[in-house]
Chain A
């Protein structure tokens, strides 16, 4: 019984191998998709403190093109040149009332590498600031959690930002860190250090240029 099972597995593996080999020969070769990592993307770092003691930045978003893996100048904020933008913990998409394009996105629960195909029934959302965003804002609601006792912001593990780009293509993004150099300050670090080093995004992403939802 066991040997029969073994042989059938060997047979299956062989046939699949032969089948995929022949398939490779017939399709035109495409460049393999490469996951890219962006480090220390500055997202409206803190420049002062309000009378209430609340820290504030200049209030400006940093725009980013996933298609070109490059920061887009803010003068191009009203164009289709950018896909997502960062300001503090807020992440916007080029959609709804955030930008002119038909982008959007949602927060997927699962692992970056396991997300091979965006599920067909996924609901892409668009921005409707300030009421709602495609990438849900707020602690423990979207991509991050704020740990009040130690005053630190941490990306929630197992969250993937699925993005529909400005040109209607798809990408997946994982936020890796919110602090400078990709290192979260120690819980015992001073509040000053925690505030000085925050709002620096490190993230990795995979952009699918062929317009499909398959990575």
Chain B
């Protein structure tokens, strides 16, 4: 791939070009907070009727974050899960159900339903917008729990900035970010390299808990203003990831050391063309070309075992969105698009077979303010598909301003997640472990009948007959909340949420092989709910101190389990006596991996001249269910939980003259580890970093 080299060359040219000092300082305070994700159009944060969290670049920088999960972990109600990479749990829903956007375009390449957020560097993030609650009415599939939109720095001011950071485990992170403007043309480029030798939480194990890796991210933006009203932008983002794996493989009763390699590449190209006809009408055409390539191989010396897995996903989209302002109080957003998607994998049939899907969609959103203090938003989206049933996703939101200080919000909406290629086409047989097979729902019938004809099927279960159309997983979400700001210095927010999810896709046994192996496929078999309360408050004590805190109370349950408990069909086993008894509703702890209580408390300090800053951030999470031990398949016994814990992160730094900044910090200062349940938490983690702003350097020299 030539792209990174090109990007680096571009950056060097900025170094030469960066003559003028940038005027947009990182440290501008009290800017009007504007968000785009909640309504797909620019709105003041305080006017948005759905729960939105906004994280500014300054907070990300002062917190010493490197990758996206670092900063998300410190937000109220979000939890970073650690299976198939780092995913985010929102409103108690699994990572599969949060849509991840970069500059409004969805990232692809999920493994086991999880998009590894470690793939995303925070180095060029301008802000992060987190919208909670179903948002499929605007964004389609995957937006059940909500949407996280990462908005990168595409400013066209002349600047060049370098960052270098070194920390524990030989972690090295280096970034260069530059932009310039030549008349109507603006250019921006960013490159980031991130590497670490990994770490081991079990000193005697051959295999490290986190293996050595190297990641490279590059991004180039080209903008051209045809006129005041007509703009063109092209963004190219490329991400490369290389992970070494030393695994011990059990072979013929002995342990064999093997070398593994994982390689993930991710390319996004986004051309955008927008034109404003007049004060009322604006239209935007967006194209999106993205590919994700993943290769995982394992080689065992002098042995034939091992594997070489490949996965390639392509996603192409064209879209138009037109915004019409009928009046100051009445706005309409209408849009539509077409998606073509392809997947190739040796785990789905063969690498040569290209599986494809097409989606056509349109959406409408009407925002109307019938009274001065009342606004209503209605939205509707239709997604038609070639591989599964089509979906309507409506949403309704209301905001009522009781006073200038008190606002009440309520919204109800539908969310959905389309069956993914894995659930439709997977064709995997594990010869080593019990010879089980997993077949996607669209191929399972043919495969089982083929095996039956070959005399390899012992028993077909009744559920086999239900294998035909896999329906999208759907949810209905309700959010009711209030914002109360007693003064300019104190802001509070509270939100109640409830998500009812149906048609959840799970694997189930559909047949048995003559050799005893089980055959699994994917079925819409489960229903669940998550509900809770989220509260946040922040207090700007004076110009220097800001104290903020957040709390989430969460309750979840599998509705089928609740029905079974009510019917007296769920049992538990006493740890001491081994005797069974009935499970009660109070003992059932809900879905695994969910903490009932999550708390964060953050203190940010900056001296009045903004030279010094320091932060201390504490995150607490109460115990959460890990795996069933007493054989009933649900979490109910004390030994089925992982311990709750608190993580404390601190950082501090100083801005010097000539655009130089030095910073140091320690994440997880209390050195908490839990190798079994939290492998991604390496104990305390110190770092030092330095940044250099070339624009400021020249500015100071001129004076």
Q: Which A residues have a C-beta under 8 Å from some C-beta of B?
A: 49-53, 109, 111-112, 138, 144-145, 147-150, 152, 154-159, 174, 176-177, 182, 184, 186-188, 202, 204
Contact = CB atoms under 8 A, between A and B. Distances in A.
Interface in B406-453: 433
Contacts of A52: 252-253
Contacts of A144: 631
Interface string B629-669: 11111000001000000000000000000000000000000
A153 B579 CA distance: 16
19 contacts: A51-B253, A53-B251, A109-B569, A111-B581, A138-B516, A147-B628, A147-B629, A148-B433, A150-B627, A150-B629, A154-B630, A155-B631, A156-B631, A158-B570, A158-B582, A174-B579, A176-B579, A186-B639, A202-B578
A157 B573 contact: yes
B110 to A, nearest CB: 21
Nearest to B675: A188
B565 to A, nearest CB: 12
A182 B630 CA distance: 13
B250 A157 contact: no
B632 A157 contact: yes
A157 B582 CA distance: 9
A149 B626 CA distance: 11
Interface in B516-549: 516
A111 B582 contact: yes
A150 B632 CA distance: 15
Contact of A184 (B516, B577, B629): B629
A112 B580 contact: yes
A50 B630 CA distance: 29
Contacts of A154: 573, 629-631
Contacts of A158: 569-571, 580, 582, 632
Given A147-B628, A174-B580, A176-B577, 20 more contacts: A49-B253, A52-B253, A53-B251, A53-B252, A111-B580, A144-B631, A145-B633, A148-B433, A152-B629, A154-B573, A155-B573, A155-B578, A157-B581, A157-B583, A157-B630, A157-B631, A157-B632, A158-B570, A174-B579, A187-B676
Nearest to B579: A176
Interface of B: 250-253, 433, 516, 569-573, 577-583, 627-633, 639, 676
B581 A188 contact: no
B253 A156 contact: no
A202 B250 CA distance: 31
A157 B573 CA distance: 5
Contacts of B569: 109, 158
Nearest to A184: B629
A157 B629 contact: no
A111 B571 contact: yes
Given A49-B253, A111-B580, A182-B578, A157 B571 contact: yes
Most buried by A among B580, B628, B630, B633: B580
A147 to B, nearest CB: 7
A156 B632 contact: yes
Main secondary structure of the interface of B (DSSP, over half): loop
Contacts of B571: 111, 156-158
A53 B250 contact: yes
Nearest to B432: A52
Nearest to B575: A184
| 9 tightest A-B CB contacts, nearest first | A176-B578, A158-B571, A154-B631, A157-B571, A157-B573, A157-B580, A156-B631, A53-B253, A177-B578
A22 to B, nearest CB: 35
Contacts, number: 70
A184 B630 CA distance: 10
Contacts of B676: 187-188
A196 to B, nearest CB: 16
Contacts of A149: 627
Contacts of B628: 147
B300 to A, nearest CB: 14
A147 B570 CA distance: 18
A188 B202 CA distance: 12
A148 B633 CA distance: 13
A167 to B, nearest CB: 28
Contacts of A177: 578
Nearest to B636: A157
Contacts of A112: 579-580
A158 B629 CA distance: 14
Most buried by B among A138, A154, A157, A188: A157
B609 to A, nearest CB: 52
A49 B250 CA distance: 12
Most buried by A among B253, B631, B632: B631
A106 to B, nearest CB: 17
Contacts of B251: 53
A145 B631 contact: yes
A187 B578 contact: no
Nearest to A138: B516
A138 B515 CA distance: 12
Nearest to B582: A111
Contacts of B578: 155, 176-177, 182, 202
A47 to B, nearest CB: 14
Nearest to A145: B631
A204 B516 CA distance: 30
Contacts of A49: 253
A181 B573 CA distance: 16
A147 B627 contact: yes
Nearest to A139: B518
A164 B576 CA distance: 29
B579 A187 contact: no
B506 to A, nearest CB: 14
Contacts of B582: 111, 158
B234 to A, nearest CB: 46
B428 to A, nearest CB: 16
A214 to B, nearest CB: 21
A186 B570 CA distance: 23
A202 B633 CA distance: 21
Contact of A51 (B252, B581, B633): B252
A138 B513 CA distance: 13
B403 to A, nearest CB: 52
A159 B251 CA distance: 37
Contacts of B629: 147, 150, 152, 154, 184, 187
Nearest to A48: B253
Most buried by B among A50, A53, A152: A53
A49 B581 CA distance: 37
A158 B574 CA distance: 11
B581 to A, nearest CB: 7
Contacts of A111: 571, 580-582
Nearest to B251: A53
A157 B676 CA distance: 26
A113 to B, nearest CB: 9
B226 to A, nearest CB: 58
A49 B252 CA distance: 9
B627 A187 contact: yes
Given A145-B631, A177-B578, A157 B572 contact: yes
Contacts of B581: 111, 157
Nearest to B458: A131
Nearest to B577: A176
Nearest to B572: A157
A147 B251 CA distance: 22
Nearest to B640: A187
B203 to A, nearest CB: 15
A152 B570 CA distance: 21
Contacts of A157: 571-573, 580-581, 583, 630-632
B185 to A, nearest CB: 56
A119 B578 CA distance: 25
A148 to B, nearest CB: 8
A148 B518 CA distance: 14
Contacts of A182: 578
Nearest to B628: A147
Contacts of A155: 573, 578, 631
